[in-house]
Structure 1
Amino acid sequence: MAEKEATVYIVDVGKSMKQHNNGRDISDLDWAMRYVWDKITTTVATGRKTATVGVVGLKTNETKVPLEDEEGYENISVIQDLGQVLMPDIRRLREEIKPSETDEGDAISSLIVAIQMINVYTKKLKYKRKIYLVTNGKGTMSSDGLSDIASKLKADNIELIVLGVDFDDPDYGFKEEDKDEGKAENEALLRGLVEDCDGVYGTLAQAIAELDTPRVKVVRGIPSFRGDVRLGDPTQYDTALRIQVERYYRTYVAKPPSASSFVMKTGGDASQPSIQTLEAKDMDANLTSVRNVRTYHVDDPTVAGGKRELDREELAKGYEYGRTAVHISESDENITKLETTAVMDLIGFIQADHYDRFMNMSTSNVIIAQKTNDKAALALSSLIHALFELDCYAIARLVVKDGKNPLIVLLAPSIEPDYECLLEVQLPFFEDVRSYKFPPLDKVITISGKEVKEHRNLPSDDLVNAMSKYVDSMELIDKDEEGEVVDTIPMEDNYSPLLHRIEQAVRWRAIHPDEPVPPPSERLTRLSKPPEEVQKRAQKYLDRIISAADVKKVPPKAKGRKRNRDVDKPLSGLDIDELLHREKRAKISPSNAIPEFKQMLATAETVEAIKDATSQMQKIIEDRIRTSFGDSNYDRVVEELGVLREELIDYEEPDLYNEFVQPLKEKILKEKLGGDRQELWWLIRRSKLGLIDKAVSDRSEVTEEEAKQFLSSK
């Protein structure tokens, strides 16, 4: 379970925060709020009710504090009480946090208000308590009772973080020139307070610069298996080995936040889902969540409409075998189902150098001894050290839960100074292994069996040498002053662009709904291209490869190359079709649609003939969709639609395709072609078989934007 958190942000909204200092094009308040909004939206994105946030306004026009006596706390307001922050709260805060018309207000007094808020909310419970003070340090600050405040912060275990606009910070290397004396005194006062309570003090420039560094989420491990590692059967042999262990993820795929689907609410009684995360930021009282309803029909001429609806309980279970649905009854399935018990049985050992790393089939897990079980820890440690000393791996049969299918796993020892465990990965069964034979890369074998070492498809010695030098020059390692090899891109600085870019965009859109999303940070894009120094170092070797391989530029594909084509004639001048008495094809057969469609276009002499062939192909595609059993015909439909599109581009008749695919989309989405065909439309979108735009064919009237809108809309 995640730690409970109580965080209060004290934001200076004084009149002086309207100013634009040090050449910035935004006000000091907007600049400071970049950091505050990032911290708040990161907390909101977790969706945790135990991650509570409060906001206190310093130097506000009014006074609103949760204290009986407001004397000494003038121009301080609690804008957000401690609690879970949701999207409506962020919208309200965005409107309320504006520069005020006064610079009156004591930052030290605002700290007392924040401490009071945290103590009242958390009581004596275990919480991670923090106070962030963001200010420009201007105005008056009272130095009375600073030692008592520092003692209170330490006693209540509250961490104080002070971030100042243009505060001097020698560690970061920033110093403001011509600083006001009052501001300099306030900076010294705040620095002394932070040092007394063991807090954090810094300039806001450093905090904002660090926002580009993605924050790695620390996930608390949850055991995926708890049971015994066994060597032998303890029910039959007293000498069998049993060790109580737990299994945790070592590596796991981190996924970006998924989108939620909402529709306009049609009735007053529709259920309203709660707003808990940033994905639901646009949801209001007029929206409701999307619910999917699945119905099953069979052909029945005795009922109205020719189809009868069935309940799911009336259906028999079937499994896909190729294109065939194979039925299996529940009684037969129970016979084939393997009865298993949760356990990890050791079934063999293998030398480490005999194992091929490509056999790994999953992410890795760690096997550790059961917590608080000293006997199990000693036994597992003995097994780990035995495997390590013999340079062996163990192979085990793992059943994670009772009734689950067994897995074959590999167990490798891992020993570190303060930690030891077994690393576990899944191995393939015999049926999972596929052996493919490929022709050798260093020779060509002719039909007669002769081996040819020099061939146009084989690289020359000069090309092999040039490629070897090029690969070596692209090495991403360097040497330090002492000659030691240093990795220029450490793994800890390697972040997922997909994951962190989407999270960054979601946080930005929550605060700035109408502004464009800023570009990704350099830390995320630095690995998308080789470093400049590496590219410069490798350029001469790349030029050598181009020369050795005789690389030539391929001319672009000609558009509409078949429109005004010259039919190739044999050298003899004879008409082969006439000699063989071949008739020009008048009808396309659905069983051989693509070849016959191309043949019909090849012999078409008029535009009307092209239109006729296209019309026949379009009818075949629609019939194939209408008669498809599930998705059995979807692949053929996508293939035929792709051929139709390419041929009409070549024959410079894009309108024929566009006039067909637009109503086809409407028929699919409105279920006019044999029921729900949403999956087919998804396949068409994935294959990018939308409208032909002007960028593809000059004869098209469709713009690129219209073509994108056609594929993206539903």
Structure 2
Amino acid sequence: MAEKEATVYIVDVGQSMGETRYGRGETDLDWAMRYVWDKITSTVATGRKTALVGVIGLRTDETDNELGEEEAFEHISVLQPISQILMPNLRDLRGKIQLSGTNSAISAIVIAIQMIASYCKKLKYKRKIVLVTSGRGSMDIDDIQEITKKIKKDDMELVILGVDFDDPEYGVKEEDKDMMKAGNESALKTLAEDCDGVFGTLEQAVAELGIPRIKPVRPVPSYKGQLTLGDTSAYETALAIDVERYPHTMVAKPPSASQFVARVETTNEGESMQSSHTIAAGDSGPLIDGKTASMEDLTAVKNTRIYQVDDEDAAGGKRDVVREELAKGYEYGRTAVHISESDENVTKLETRASLDIIGFVQKDTYERYMNMSVSCVIVAQKANAKASMALSSLVHALFELDSYAVARLVTKDDKAPVLLLLAPFFDVDYECLVDVQLPFTEDMRNYRFPPLDKVVTVSGKILKEHRNLPTDQLMKAMSNYVDQMDLSTFAKDDEGEPVEYMQMDETYSPLLHRIDQVVRWRAVHPSEPIPLPYEILTKFAQPPQELLNLAKKNLDSLIAAADVKKVPPKQKGRKRDHDQPKPLSGLNVEELLGRQKRTKISTENAIPEFKQMLATTEDPGAIQDASRQMSQIIISQIKHSLADSGYGRATEGLRVTREELISLEEPTIYNDFLKDLKQKLLAGELGGDRREMWWEIRRNHLGLITNKQSTLSKVTDEEAKQFLLTK
């Protein structure tokens, strides 16, 4: 179970926070709220009921707190009581953060202490107070010692971040600072240090928002039992160690999207009516009837699965059946092979949870490409000194012999076994085994490829010099270029020593953290443009420009040695009144082979001959003739098809015709043919009921050519869509 947390944010909303300073382009309040919103939305994203948040407004116009009757606690408002904060609470909070009056930040800390003490009582909570202020209001520091004692007694963490506060270590110092702010800053710094808290400038906190935070995850064991070597039930010398297995590395995935549809209400007359409720200002949602929808206007998408079988007596030739009436089958090629439940039980392997070492391999004989999974660690059972000593002995033995162990793992009874490779691992504080999954023989696929350093002719002769083999000059140029682009020593550390440019702990997944950034931003800013990705996420997307400049000379040498030539851009269309593209070699293959222009397309080799006929003509009449012949062949294939045996050839012919006529900018020919084909299919004029062929056309997206696909087409996307849907 995750640790319980209670965090209270104190936000200074005084009039001085509405000023814009030092060319920032936004008010101090908006700048400070960058940090606060980031922290709160990160908590909301976890969805944990044990992560609680409270928000206090400092220097508000109104007074709303438990101690508000006392003068010292006026103009302090509890904007969000300590609770799990959800999206509706977040939207309400956005409207409450407004500029207003004046009061003491110390008094707000007292209110935060009171809120945490009242809610958490003596329960085990991680308690935290975060104060964000400009330090420009008046401040009463008479009770600061009592506050310090209370914070330390209740084991609270105090974080104070100030707008333009001085921080010599970070390099921030505000010039010409007024005396009141300097005194308040000094008092707050003393308070944070006395409470063993954190005191810093807001500039550093905002700058570090772009650095993705590592999410702590409590590991869950995937196996608890014995690691055995030998049969413990038959031999006394067999080895058995009580161990636990935990994940070491896991694949982090971005949050998935949820599917919603507009909620439909039913009237008394039985008619459906789509909701068109408009939510309050600040909310965001999809548009329904031109108005923004709230979550109450939406409903989750639910999937319903219907099973059908062929039945000539049923309407439409299909009959619905319940799932219990179906038998399980497995795909074997294109055939569904039935297997009964009794037969399946015979083939099922009965296993028990175990982890057995079945062999050892030398470290230098293992290939890294055999790894099939993320890694896990195997450690000794907690509070078991005997198991710790035994596992340590095994780890050291494997390390000293440069060996790995191969083990058979069954995590739970009756689960399929897997093979693991166990490797020794040492750290300062612990020793363990690291495991990865190995493939079975059935998982291995062997492919033969020609060698890269020689060419073997049909007669068996080995050639070391060939146009497909790199020359010594090319190999040297490539080697020099690779050496020049080396990133392992390109960066410099604080002492000026060369270090790796792209270090592992500074490399983050752009997909994962960019989506997280966008989701958190949209939660607080529903209508503003999405910001650019953080620089740290795009830093390693391109090589450093300085390194590219240094390697420019080597790259030019490589291009010259490889004789690289620019490839002509691919032509988007072959207009019939333009010259046909010529090969780079300048040779006319048709003339060399002595081929004549084709005038007739055969049924046996229709597609290649259709392409050849179009490639050797510029006459519009010849294009129409070739398309007419191809259309007749497609119709014949459908008409004389035995059931659906000829639908595949007809569909492929239709696809090629469509692509070629788009390329030749003759969409009208195809569209007219498809309209005529649809009419004949649905009317049953092609040898009976051929509606399944029309479904194949829809499934393969072979509809009308639209004006987006060809400028000469007059068909819009909506018309093409309706054409496919209309039966």
TM band (smaller chain): 0.7 to 0.9
Amino acid in structure 1 at the alignment position of 2:202: L
Provide the aligned length of Structure 1 versus Structure 2. Answer: 680
Q: Offset at 1:616? A: 6.8
Does structure 2 retain, via aligned residues, the 8 Å contact 1:614–1:656? no
| SS of equivalent to 1:169 | coil
Equivalent position SS for 1:246: strand
Equivalent residue number for residue 56 of structure 1: 56
Q: Distance in 1 between matches of 2:301 and 2:693?
A: 20
Q: Aligned match of 1:207 in 194, 198, 205?
A: 205
Query: How far apart are the structure 1 equivalents of 2:539 and 2:359?
Result: 45
Shift of residue 362, structure 1, vs aligned partner: 1.1
Tell me: CA distance 1:315–1:600, structure 2 relative to 1, closer, same or farther (3 Å). farther
Q: Which residue of 463, 469, 481 corresponds with 2:474?
A: 463
| Aligned with 1:252 (options 250, 253, 265) | 250
| Residue 128 (structure 1) shift | 0.9
- For residue 12 of structure 1, report the CA deviation from its aligned partner: 0.8
Residue 27 (structure 1) shift: 1.1
Instruction: State the distance in 2 between where 1:176 and 1:705 align.
Output: 61
Q: 2:526 aligns with which of 506, 510, 513?
A: 513
Residue in 2 aligned with 1:296? 307
Kindly report the root-mean-square deviation, in angstroms, between the aligned alpha carbons of the 2 structures: 4.0
Equivalent residues of 2:9, 2:131 under 8 A apart: yes
State the secondary structure of the residue aligned to 1:150: helix
Deviation sequence 1:120-154 (CA, Å, 0-9, x none): 11111111111111111112100111010011111
One-letter code aligned to 2:343? D
Q: Contact between 2:406 and 2:422, CA under 8 Å: does it hold in 1?
A: yes
| Counterpart secondary structure, 1:113 | helix
Deviation at 1:303, TM superposition (A): 2.1
Deviations 1:301-330 (A, max 9, x none): 122332110111111111122322222111
The match for 1:362 is 373
Distance (Å, rounded) in 1 between the aligned partners of 2:392 and 2:704: 61
Equivalent positions of 1:1-12 (< 5 A) are: 1-12=1-12
Contact 1:692 1:702 in 2 (8 A): yes
How far 1:68 sits from its partner (Å)? 6.9
Is residue 2:571 matched to residue 1:555? no
Deviations 1:253-301 (A, max 9, x none): 110011111111113799xxxxxxx999985111111110000001111
Is 1:170 the counterpart of 2:186? The answer is no
Query: How far apart, CA to CA, are the structure 2 residues paired with 1:50 and 1:659?
Result: 65
Map 1:13-162; keep pairs closer than 5 Å: 13-67=13-67, 69-100=69-100, 102=101, 104-162=102-160
Shift of 1:561: 2.3
- Aligned mates of 1:219, 1:42 — CA distance in 2: 15
1:478 equivalenced with 2:489 (yes/no): yes
CA distance in 1, matches of 2:592, 2:634: 37
Q: Secondary structure at the match of 2:122?
A: coil
The answer for the alignment partner of 1:313 in structure 2 is 324
| Residue 295 of structure 2: aligned partner | 284
Name the structure 1 match of 2:540: 527
User: Which one of the candidate residues 192, 195, 198 is aligned to 2:193?
Assistant: 195
TM-score (norm 2): 0.84
What's 1:489 paired with? 502
CA distance in 1, matches of 2:506, 2:198: 24
Partner SS for 2:226 = strand
CA distance in 2, matches of 1:662, 1:577: 28
User: Letter of the aligned partner of 1:383 in structure 2?
Assistant: L
Paired amino acid for 1:54: G
Task: Tell me the distance in 2 between the aligned counterparts of 1:255 and 1:546.
Answer: 40
Against the structure 1 CA distance between its residues 661 and 92, is the aligned structure 2 distance closer, same or farther, given a 3 Å change threshold?
farther
For residue 231 of structure 1, report the CA deviation from its aligned partner.
1.1
Q: Which moved more, 1:654-663 or 1:220-229?
A: 654-663
Q: Tell me the amino acid that sits aligned with residue 339 of structure 2.
A: I
Which string of whole-angstrom CA distances, capped at 9 and with x for unpartnered residues, describes residues 671-699 of structure 1? x9869999x97x97xxx9997776x7554
Tell me if 1:445 matches 2:456.
Answer: yes
Distance 1:75 1:193 in 2: 22
- Equivalent residue of 1:214, what SS? coil
Alpha-carbon distance in structure 1 between the residues aligned to 2:500 and 2:593 = 68
- For 1:435, give the aligned amino acid: N
The verdict on how the C-alpha distance between 1:706 and 1:299 changes in structure 2, with shifts beyond 3 A counting, is closer
SS in 1 for 2:572: coil
CA shift for structure 1 position 70: 3.9
> Counterparts of 2:239 and 2:704 in 1: how far apart (Å)?
63
Matched, 1:416 2:431: no
**Identity of paired residues, percent?**
58
Contact 2:638 2:647 in 1 (8 A): no
Where 1:38 maps in the other structure, the secondary structure is helix
| TM-aligned CA deviation for residue 26 of structure 1 | 1.1
**2:440 is equivalent to residue 429 of structure 1:** yes
Which residue identity does 1:447 align to in structure 2? V
CA displacement at 1:222 relative to structure 2? 0.6
Give the distance between the partners of 1:21 and 1:502, measured in 2 at CA.
31
Task: State whether structure 2 residue 516 is matched by structure 1 residue 500.
Answer: no
CA distance in structure 2 between the partners assigned to 1:304 and 1:690 by the alignment: 30
CA gap 1:613/1:323 in 2 versus in 1, 3 angstroms: farther
Give the direction of change, closer, same or farther, for the CA distance of 1:572–1:353 in structure 2 (3 Å limit).
Answer: closer
Q: Tell me what 2:394 maps to.
A: 383
Which residue number in structure 2 is paired with residue 668 of structure 1?
A: none
Q: Runs of 5+ in structure 1 lacking a partner?
A: 271-277, 665-671, 708-714
1:659 and 1:88 map into 2 onto residues whose CA distance is: 55
The CA distance in 2 between the partners of 1:302 and 1:436, in whole Å, is 51
Q: Is the 8 A contact 2:226 2:240 kept in 1?
A: yes
Partner of 2:417: 406
TM-superposed CA distance for 1:453, in Å, is: 1.3
Could you say if the C-alpha distance between residues 42 and 574 of structure 1 is closer, same or farther in structure 2, counting changes exceeding 3 Å? closer
Going from structure 1 to structure 2, the CA distance change for 1:324 and 1:633 (only over 3 Å counts) comes to farther
1:535-574 counterparts in 2 under 5 A?
Answer: 535-561=548-574, 563-564=576-577, 570=591
Could you say which residue in structure 2 is the equivalent of 1:605? 621
1:78-128 superposed Cα distances (whole Å, 9 cap, x missing partner): 01111011111111111111112x2x2111111111111111111111111
Cα 1:326–1:61 change in 2 (3 A) is same
Mapping of 1:605-624 within 5 angstroms?
605-606=621-622, 608-609=624-625, 612=628
Partners of 1:14 and 1:574 lie apart in 2 by 88
Cα distance in 2 for residues equivalent to 1:29 and 1:663: 67
> Could you say which residue in structure 2 is the equivalent of 1:183?
181
Residue segments in structure 2 that go unaligned for 5+ positions in a row: 273-282, 287-292, 581-587, 678-689, 721-727
**AA matched with 2:309:** V
